């Protein structure tokens, strides 16, 4: 195994041996992409990336995951799953329930195909935030090499840029269930509306924007620096979103913040 002079990277490399068969739960985000790159750079271990596709994961995220694995040269599989009954009403603990269900399925896949290590892209900053899904990972004994080596999000972005990973500055992205209030029946058509609306707005120059839905109302959360651009392009934005069936469109002047639906 080739050791890297960077202490944290060397610590991460030391978590694996040349007999490991590793399954990486791969979202295509900055963290899991950096981990994919690092593990793939180690001589010996066999690596496969596994992406779960559900109705609350946008198709563009899956497409990007496919492209990243192809560029880096890592075997990649996609598993399709529906919305589990445990979260069909979008309960407050949906992240825990979802992670438990998804990684239980990933463990089954790992056993079926002989993987002896399952890893994910959680980082050191995740411990200091409200991340109920972390509890599910611990219960299922999923390893988080970036977290264990002490990598912060800032360091991951910095190193990703240094090694030429194109998505080093990709905005963080949470599943589409976070755009809906708790304790309402999740409708696949609503999820598709959110997916299409956000994709349009991201491509229009507002990356990281969230379109939170409250019945017929779309509440746009973004960096306040984007407010002027949204207003200047409001005619096109209104036309597109109303064609999706959205009746009212608002800009949240508090701007983007994580977990805003948890306050409702």
Residue with tokens 């985000």: 29
Based on the fold, state whether residues 148 and 184 are members of the same structural domain.
no
Burial, 228: exposed, middle or buried (Cβ in 10 Å; 0-12, 13-18, 19+)? exposed
The verdict on residue 170 lying in a domain is no
Residue 263 clears pLDDT 50, i.e. is over it: yes
Cα three-residue angle 195-200-205, rounded to 5 degrees: 130
User: Structural domain tally of the chain?
Assistant: 2
pLDDT at 1: 41
Strands 248-251 and 117-119, by their bridges, are: unpaired
Q: For residue range 137-196, what is the model confidence (pLDDT) as tens digits?
A: 989 999 999 999 999 999 999 999 999 999 999 998 889 999 999 999 999 999 999 999
Nearest by Cα to 169 from 158, 181, 179: 158
pLDDT at 151: 95
Nearest by Cα to 148 from 15, 3, 7: 15
Based on the fold, state whether residues 30 and 156 are members of the same structural domain.
yes
Q: For residue range 3-49, what is the model confidence (pLDDT) as tens digits?
A: 455 889 998 989 999 899 999 999 999 999 999 999 999 999 999 99
How far is 97 from 83, CA to CA, in rounded Å?
11
Q: For residue range 88-129, what is the model confidence (pLDDT) as tens digits?
A: 999 999 999 999 999 999 999 999 999 999 999 999 988 866
Last residue within a domain, chosen from 97, 127, 162:
162
Q: Which domain holds residue 14?
A: 7-162
Give the tokens for residue 228. Answer: 């002027």
pLDDT at 79: 97
């Amino acid at each position: 195994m080739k050791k890297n002079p960077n202490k944290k990277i060397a610590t991460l490399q030391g978590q694996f041996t040349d007999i490991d068969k590793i399954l990486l739960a791969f979202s295509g985000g900055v963290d899991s992409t950096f981990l994919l790159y690092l593990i793939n750079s180690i001589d010996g271990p066999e690596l496969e990336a596994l992406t779960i596709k559900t109705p609350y994961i946008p198709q563009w995220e899956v497409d990007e995951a496919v492209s990243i694995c192809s560029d880096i040269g890592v075997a990649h599989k996609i598993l399709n799953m529906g919305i589990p009954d445990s979260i069909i009403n979008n309960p407050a603990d949906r992240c825990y329930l979802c992670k438990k269900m998804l990684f239980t399925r990933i463990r089954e896949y790992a056993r079926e195909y002989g993987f002896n290590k399952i890893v994910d892209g959680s980082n050191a900053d995740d411990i200091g935030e409200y991340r109920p899904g972390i509890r599910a990972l611990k219960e299922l004994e999923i390893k988080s090499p970036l977290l264990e080596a002490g990598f912060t999000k800032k360091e991951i972005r910095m190193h990703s840029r240094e090694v030429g990973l194109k998505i080093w500055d990709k905005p963080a992205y949470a599943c589409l269930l976070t755009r809906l209030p708790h304790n309402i029946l999740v409708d696949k058509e609503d999820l598709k509306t959110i997916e299409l609306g956000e994709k349009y707005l991201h491509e229009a120059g507002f990356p990281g924007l969230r379109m939170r839905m409250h019945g017929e109302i779309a509440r746009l959360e973004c960096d306040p620096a984007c407010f002027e651009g949204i207003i200047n392009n409001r005619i096109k934005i209104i036309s597109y979103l109303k064609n999706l069936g959205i009746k009212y469109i608002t800009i949240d002047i508090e701007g983007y913040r994580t977990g805003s639906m948890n306050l409702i």
